[in-house]
Amino acid sequence: MSTNFSFALSKTDGRARRGRITTPRGTIETPAFMPVGTAATVKAMYPDQVRATGAEILLGNTYHLMLRPGSERVQRLGGLHEFMDWPHPILTDSGGFQVMSLAQLRKLSEEGVIFKSHIDGSTHHLSPERSVEIQLQLDSDILMQLDECIRLPAERDDIERAMQLSLRWAERSKSAFANAMGRALFGIVQGGDVAELRARSAAGLRSIGFQGYSIGGLAVGEPQETMFRVLDEIVPELPAEAPHYLMGVGKPDDLLGSVARGVDMFDCVHPTRAGRHGHAYSRFGVINLKNARHRDDPRPLDETSPNENCRRFSRAYLHHLVKTEEILGAMILSQINLAYYQTLMAGMRVAIEQGTFEDFSSNTRAGWEKGDLPAIE
């Protein structure tokens, strides 16, 4: 293991955990939300705007970056941090998830997966070794093993086959990663919604040994209660001294419920995607700015928000930008949503420190349930 990556737990409150990840490129206070910079950009945001929301780490998508601009090219250009002007930590996924969801003509074997690019139809392959190689070329700080992620609901046999394959790929990923100084490799727990398979997956990963443990195969179509049940079953099986990362999750309510179940890290495109579609996350819950009720509303989104964008523009103006499909609307709402997510995570961190996570959680949910300001007459 590298001496330069570490995780320290400072406090727990129920099963919620307050910690800090240390990497050579900076520290990450946990629980942490990672904005997604799919194609080497968090959509509609300058990197310093992303940092200013409080984000300490980004996620980069191996699948997108290997196709465009290409990981060898990114390496020649100095790595992903240099390329996108984000000097802070970056976590990369393995590429496997997007191969399954975006690529064409996939062919999966024990060796890996061969697929055609959704952009130009060119043929590529991904194996545990190649995925690690690409992530190292990108200069990732936290790498993911290649896994096979399947949609739920699924047959138990299919779930088990994919889980076992993922375990064998975990072993090969670890060998390929070797001992890359200053970086970390995370294993990924699979096993769908079957407790026994999840437990076997976790046990297998523990015996290989990783610097962090990701929970894959959730947020793939199942109800929230299924996700929470799987977390209840699986998180206690993960080593307490390593970070727990729930991949591809989620909405604010998912984050609250998952932190309560011992998750330390999250990533999701939802806040920026929702922003581009005219939705703003706030202490009032989600506000649909396309709604005509905002058309003549001179009030800002939330005049008590610490975020200037929530105070300086009227709801009427945001409604106008969304209706006219102006880029500025996507810019402002992406910023507002990422800032809200970071404020939520910061609130959870303070609450865990103070032993008030449950109160924080129920107060936050009560605010969402109360809903938006009454419409103006």
- Contact footprint for its own copies (CB under 8 A): 39-41, 43-46, 68-69, 73, 76-78, 83-85, 295-296, 298, 312-314, 316-317, 319-321, 323-324, 326-328, 330-332
d(CA 88, CA 92): 13
For residue 76, the minimal CB distance to its own copies (Å) is 7
How far is CA 340 from each of CA 52, 166, 251, 282, 283, rounded to the nearest angstrom? 12, 35, 11, 6, 8
Considering the complex, what minimum distance in angstroms separates the CB of residue 91 from its own copies? 20
List active site positions: 93, 267
| Residue 52, token pair as written in the block | 């200013």
Closer residue to its own copies (CB): 43 or 293: 43
Given the complex with its own copies, which of 85 and 241 has the nearer CB atom?
85
Kindly state the smallest distance separating residue 84's Cβ from its own copies, in Å: 7
Do residues 84 and 37 touch, judged by C-beta distance below 8 A?
Answer: yes
Query: Strand 279-282 and strand 285-288: pairing?
Result: antiparallel
Q: Output the 3-class SS for 193-241.
A: CCHHHHHHHHHHHHHHCCCEEEECCCCCCCCHHHHHHHHHHHHHHCCCC
Measure the CA–CA gap between 41 and 85, rounded to whole angstroms: 10
Q: For residue 323, give every residue at least 6 positions away whose Cβ sits within 8 Å of its Cβ, in sequence order, or none.
A: 290
Residue 276 exposure: Cα atoms within 13 Å on the Cβ side: 8
Q: Are 232 and 195 in contact (CB under 8 A)?
A: no
Secondary structure of residue 274 in the 3-state scheme: helix
Residues 6+ apart with CB under 8 A from 71: 62, 65, 133, 134, 137, 138
* Distances, alpha carbon 1 to alpha carbons 24, 104, 128, 292, in Å: 14, 36, 18, 56
Q: Are 54 and 34 in contact (CB under 8 A)?
A: no
- Distance (Å) of CA 360 to CA 2, 4, 53, 346: 36, 33, 21, 11
CB 295, min distance to its own copies, A: 7
- The pair of structure tokens assigned to 45 is 């945001």
What sign does the dihedral 134-139-140-143 (CA atoms) show?
A: positive
